[in-house]
Each structure stands twice: as C-alpha cells, then as structure tokens.
Amino acid sequence: MSLLDQIGERLENLNKSERKVADVILNDPKSATRMSISALANASLVSEPTVNRFCRNFETSGFPDFKIQLAQSLATGTPYVSRDVEQNDNTEEYTDKIFTSTIAAMENARKHVCMSAVEKAVDFLIQAKQISFFGLGASGPVAMDAQHKFFRFNLPVTAYDDVLMMRMVAAAAHTGDVIVAISYTGRTRDMVEIAQIARSNGATVIGLTADKSPLAASSSVCLSFPTPEDTDKYMPMTSRIVQLILLDVLATGVTLRRGVEFQAHLKKIKDSLKATRYPDLPPEA
C-alpha cells in the first residue's frame, strides 16, 4: 500500500492536529513533497514537532524520509525502466531520483531486517561444510559477488546462475551444505523447486527473498526485506543493492565469529594483491 493510501485509510484514527497535516497533504500531495517541515507546519496550523510525530506514525524515520516515500507513492514511472522516473525527466532529475529512491530502499530495508534471522543465518554459514549461492536473472551477479566475498573464509564456495547446474547441485547436496537462494520476488518456480530439492537432501537453505513468498516458505531461514519495486514491470534497481547489503551483513557476521586470530588469514589474501598494483602517487608538494 502506498503512503498516500495509508494516510487516507487511517485518516479517521488521527488526532485533531495530525488530521490537519493529513488534510494538507491529501489536498495537494505534489506540493507537499516540495515543502520544508516549517512550511508544512504553517500550512497545517500546527507545530513542527507535530509534523514529525505525524511522519513517524507512518513508519518513516522523520520528515525527509516521509517526503521521499510520498514522492514515490505519486510516481507513475516509466514502464520497463523505473517507477521513480518519468519519461520527460532531464539528466539532473532522473539522476537525483535514482539516488534518492535507492537511499530510501536501503533505509527501509534496514528498519525491517530481522536480527534473529541474521543471527541464525550466520550460525548456519559458520558451520557449513560448503556454501553455494544461487541467483537467476538480475540476482545472478549478486550471487557471483557473494562468492567473491565468502571464498576468503577457507570454505568451498561456489556461485551459480544456471538452472540446470543449480538443480544438480541441490540433488547432490548433503547435511552440512548451505545453499543461499537469492530471489527478489521469491516467486520464481525453478528457484522454489531447487530449494525444496536441496532441503529434501538435508541441506540448509537460506532464502534472501520477500517475506511470505513461496521461496521463503521453502527455506530453512529467510532473510526478508520490503519489496516496493515491481520487477514484473520495472527494471530491477534498488532490489539488487539491498541484496548486496544483506550479503555484506552476513559476510561481516561470519568474519566477526571467526575471531581476531582469523585476521592474519585475511591479511595474507590482501597482501597477495600488492604486487599487482602501481604504488600510490606521492602527495603533491
């Protein structure tokens, strides 16, 4: 449900002051996206703290975040490109919109990530005999990036973006193997079937996917995140960034669990790259 829909639905439950803020926004939402907090407070005949309380009632971190989500709920978007970009946007406009929508998506994901699910996923990864990352379509490069991070942990790590290879790996899986299935929607039939095959063979499946999706239901543990980006209609953009961040979180969790003594191993890997680089340029006099 868009932010505008939420405001309209909860209108009757707001107190008198908050109702004034809602009325101003609903009467001209486009103008509200360009107002400062003081301008909106003046137009609503309320104080700035009241505007801030109103914004936090709708699960935003404050007025700036509220304005971003309000702008997103107004956007009709350009089909097959982005819901945040209009066909007639100039360079400055579409650049700003892509950055802004990505920042908003990251903040939204941060607020909704389940810490107990992160903890459980790290538990599985730290005990894994081997780890496989599966991703199809736009999630394929995300799986490859995960392999690049996790190979440092002295574990057999692979990444696949081919359905047939995934099915064979899942069929050959055993107890102690961990498969991280990456899917923004969680509705890709092949990925759900592969997760089921892997679990039937005793493997652990960590789903990086939408909550309450078929893949989430087929996973041993699910790291879910909000899915405001309709990838059935628009090009995947912010969804990939959120997936990458969650994998960074898992990689960090595994690194910290390995303890300080593991840093010597990580240093050895970093040091191996020194000979491949030109030295830093000396600072200008």
What pLDDT, in 10s, does the model give residues 177-223? 999 999 988 989 999 999 999 999 999 999 999 888 999 999 999 99
Q: Residue 131 pLDDT more than 80?
A: yes
What pLDDT, in 10s, does the model give residues 234-251? 455 677 888 999 999 999
Contact (Cβ atoms closer than 8 angstroms) between residue 48 and residue 9: no
- Structure confidence at residue 1 (pLDDT): 59
Contact (Cβ atoms closer than 8 angstroms) between residue 143 and residue 165: no
- Structure confidence at residue 227 (pLDDT): 59
What pLDDT, in 10s, does the model give residues 41-57? 999 999 999 999 999 98
Contact (Cβ atoms closer than 8 angstroms) between residue 128 and residue 253: no
Give pTM, 2 decimals: 0.69
- Structure confidence at residue 237 (pLDDT): 67
- Structure confidence at residue 285 (pLDDT): 53
- Structure confidence at residue 75 (pLDDT): 63
What pLDDT, in 10s, does the model give residues 68-112? 888 877 765 444 345 566 777 788 887 887 787 777 778 778 888
Q: Residue 229 pLDDT more than 80?
A: no
For residue 283, the tally of other CB atoms under 10 A from its CB is 5
Which residues fall within 8 angstroms of residue 126, CB to CB, at 6 or more apart? 254, 257, 258
Which residues fall within 8 angstroms of residue 158, CB to CB, at 6 or more apart? 130, 131, 132, 133, 147, 169
Share of the chain above pLDDT 90, in %: 52
Average pLDDT over residues 227-235: 51
